[in-house]
Structure formats: structure tokens, C-alpha cells
Amino acid sequence: MKRLLTIFLACSASAHADLKLEKSEGSMKVMDDGKLITEYRTDWKVPYLYPLLSPSGANLTRHWPTKEGVEGEETDHPHHRSVWMGHGSVNGADFWAMKGEGNPTIIHKGFGADTKTSADSVSFTADLEWQANGKKLIDEKRTITFRKINATTGALEFTCALTAVEDVTFGDTKEGMFAFRMDRTLRLKGKQAKSHILDSNGVTDGGTWGKRADWVAYHGPDETGAPVVAALFDHPKNFRYPTYWHVRDYGLVAANPFGIHDFEGKKDQPTLGNHVLKKGESMTFRYSIVVHHGDLKSADLGKLWESFSKN
């Protein structure tokens, strides 16, 4: 009996020790049984996550420009940093390409004290400031949770709570907002591209651009040739749900509720999608990136989105 109890306790401890966070200065690594899943990084003008790995260990998101010299990697759009958030017009400042007047920057101020770990999830919070022209426009509290759904599926969930320090206008532009950029094989266009796009309404490939949907997914072979699905979920409580999607054949997937005139082709109404967040007001965005080692059928994205949408 004593031996059986010892084995049970050892197995229980092992199960609860699989997922953990490794914190360092301006960085947080999400680990599963000693293997890296992703890393929150602050070594650029906007916080981002790189790399993002499949449950199989294969890389899923773009290496460049964080990692140079990867064979077959494209070197367009240097602001596409694996997984990130920003917007092309915030009081006129470009927090998407992170260039132009005002030196727009999303500054990491530190990690919150509310780190959580359990057998199947880990969570941490980062305090951020959106700054341009030498002053703060937005305070953001961003909570990132990784959930191990099963042996072949994981989810990165983001809760981004933005509070305006002064009146802030999110301008109508397609350049935004919450995004990830796929690795070389997980694209429709490129030297190694072998994949396709699907949204929750059944629209495929290039037809997904500018459409509204619950989710958008890239699916195809990963860098090892194994099937994989990477999807971005919108949440029903988000502003202007279901969101518009800025999706490109070179691997970009971005949820953007502000670029209405671009997405609907209403060039004569360039401020149609503008939204003003008054001083002291807050708005919260929730997104989930689901990665599945397998095909669309086994991923069952509709069921996973339903579960996410109810939380």
C-alpha cells in the first residue's frame, strides 16, 4: 500500500509539473515538460511572442526578423513579429508598422503578481503603456494564458484591457490589430507555401480577406511535413463582434474591428470605422490562438470556439 501511495503521489506531482513559466527580465517562457511552447518577449518596440510551437514541437510562426538566416524565410514586413498586437492609427500614430511621427511604442512596464499555474494551464499578466510623441495614450493590462486542451491541441488566450489616458481615436485602417504571421510552409504564397485558409463561415483562401467571422485558420503541413492547424478566435464580447479579418496569402492573420471602410470598399467614408475611447474609459479584447497537431476534422474548431465563446 505504501509503495502504491508513493507511485500515486509521484505521478500526481509529475502531472502538475508539466506546465510552468520561466520568468526573466522582460521575458516569460511557457514550458511544457521542459520544452518551450512560446516566449513573451520585449526586445522590440512592441511586445510579441516568438516562437510558437505545435504540440509536436514543430515551429508554426515566422522566424524573421527575430531570427536571421532561416532558409526560405521571407523578409517582407519587418513589423510582423510572430504574434503581436497593435493598430495603424491611434491618435494618428502608427502602432502597427511602428514607424513614422511620434515614435509609437508599446512599452513593457513589468509583470503582474497574479501568475497562475495548474495541471493544464499557466497564466501571467503584463502591464503595458502605448506611448507616442513622448506621452502615454493607453494603459494596457494584458493577461496571457496557455491551456493544454489535450495531447494534440493547445490554446493561447489573450485578455487585453485597454484604458485611455486621454481621449483616444482608433482610426479606420486595415493595418491592425491582433495578429500572427505563419511559418514558411503555412502560407498560400512563397517558396515553400503549401497551405490553405478557412474561416468559420466556410470561406476559403483569398476570399477570407475583409470578411467577418468567428475565426480564421491556416491549415497544411508544418516544417516537418505533418498536418497542423493554427486558428485565431474572436470572442462574442469583443467590440464589433464578429470582427473583420485582415488575412493575407503570405501568412498574415489579423483580427481588426476598426478597418471598416477598407474592408467594405467604402473609400468615400475613410472615418467610417473610427472609434473614440474617452479619457478614463476602458475596452477589453479577448482572443485565442489554437494550435492543433492534425487536420481540420480532428481539430474540430467549431466546438473549440463554442467553448471559448462561453468563457
What would the grid cell of residue 158 be?
Answer: 489573450
Question: What is the pLDDT at residue 150?
Answer: 96
Say if residues 17 and 9 touch (Cβ distance below 8 Å): no
Question: What is the pLDDT at residue 119?
Answer: 87
Say if residues 53 and 36 touch (Cβ distance below 8 Å): yes
Cell 495603424 sits on residue: 88
**Tens of pLDDT along 246-264?**
999 999 999 999 999 999 9
Domains of the chain (ranges, CATH numbers): 2-309 (2.70.98)
What would the grid cell of residue 279 be?
Answer: 479619457
3-state secondary structure of 171: coil
Question: What is the pLDDT at residue 252?
Answer: 98
Report the alpha-carbon distance of residue 208 to residue 217 in Å, rounded.
10
What would the grid cell of residue 123 be?
Answer: 497564466
| Angle 246-249-250 from CA coordinates, rounded to 5° | 100
Q: Which of 152, 176, 159 is nearest to 95 (CA)?
A: 176
Per-10-residue mean pLDDT of the chain, 311 residues long, equals 35 56 96 96 98 97 97 95 98 96 96 92 98 97 98 98 98 98 97 97 98 98 98 98 98 98 97 98 98 98 98 89
What would the grid cell of residue 163 be?
Answer: 484604458
Report the alpha-carbon distance of residue 128 to residue 108 in Å, rounded.
5
